[in-house]
Amino acid sequence: MATSRGLFGTSLARKYWMALTGLFLCSFLAIHLLGNLPLLTGNQEAFNAYAHFMTTFPLIKAVSYLLYGSIVLHSVDGLVLAYQNKKARPEGYKAYNGAANANWSSRNMALLGILTLLFILVHMKSFWFEMHFGPWEDRMDVNGNKDLYTLTVGAFESLWYSLFYVLCMLGLGFHLWHGFASAFQTMGWSHPRYTPVIKALGYGFAVLVPATFASIPLYILLN
C-alpha cells in the first residue's frame, strides 16, 4: 500500500505522472495532426486510409489503450492537484498578484484542462464512437475503407461545431503554452543551456499544432 501511494498518491508522484502522460499526449497530437493534414488538401482516400490504419493495426490498437489511460490519469491527477493547491492557498491569496510570478496559462491550467477534456469527449463521440460503432454498410470509399472523410467534413460544415472546435484549440494552445516546458522541468530535465531551447520548442508547439488543427474546420467551413 505504501509503495502504491508513493507511486500514485503523493503530490510529487501526481506531478510526475502529469508530466509523463502530458508529453506522451503531445507526441500523439503531433502524429494525429499529420494524419489529419489530408483534410486540408481534400485527399479523401489518404485520410480514410490513415483512419483505417489507426483503428486496425495491432500495435496501434495496443498503444491506443495506453492513450486512453494517459488521458484519464492526466485528467484525474490534474483535477486532484488543482483541488489540493486551492485548499492549500492562504487566506490572503485573493490579494495576491499572480501575474508577478506566473502567466495566465499557468494560473488557469485546471480550467484549460477541463475545456480540453470536454473537447476530447465531444470529439470522441463525433468521430471515434462513429468509427467503431456507427453503421458503415453504405458509407465506404472506393478502397473499401470506412468513409470517415465525408463524416468529418459534414461535421465541420456545421458552424457551431467548427466554432466550438476552434475555441477548444485556443484553450489547448494556452494549456500547452505552460504545460510543455513545465513537464520537462517537473521530470528534472532542467539545464541553463537546454531549458531556453525547450521553452522555445514548447511555445512553437503550443502555437503551431493547435493553430493547424483549428485551420481544418475553418478551411472546410469557408470552402
pLDDT at 96: 45
Q: Indicate the pLDDT class of residue 90, thresholds 50, 70 and 90.
A: low
- CATH number of domain containing 152: 1.20.1300
CA distance 40 to 223: 11
Q: Has residue 2 got a pLDDT over 80?
A: no
With a CB cutoff of 8 Å and minimum separation 6, the contacts of 156 are 162, 165, 216, 217, 220, 221
CB atoms within 10 A of CB 74: 22
**Under 8 Å between Cβ of 203 and 177:** yes
CA distance 3 to 26: 28
Domain count, the chain: 1
Range of the domain at 157: 2-222
Q: pTM, whole model, 2 decimals? A: 0.87
| pLDDT, tens only, 160-176 | 999 999 999 999 999 99
For the ranges 106-110, 111-115, 126-130, the one whose mean pLDDT is highest: 126-130
| pLDDT, tens only, 9-38 | 688 888 999 999 999 999 999 999 999 999
pLDDT at 102: 58
User: Once rounded to an integer, what is the mean pLDDT over residues 129-157?
Assistant: 93
With a CB cutoff of 8 Å and minimum separation 6, the contacts of 174 are 104, 105, 108, 112, 206
For residue 88 the three cell numbers come to: 492549500
**Under 8 Å between Cβ of 18 and 197:** no
pLDDT at 6: 53
CB atoms within 10 A of CB 98: 12
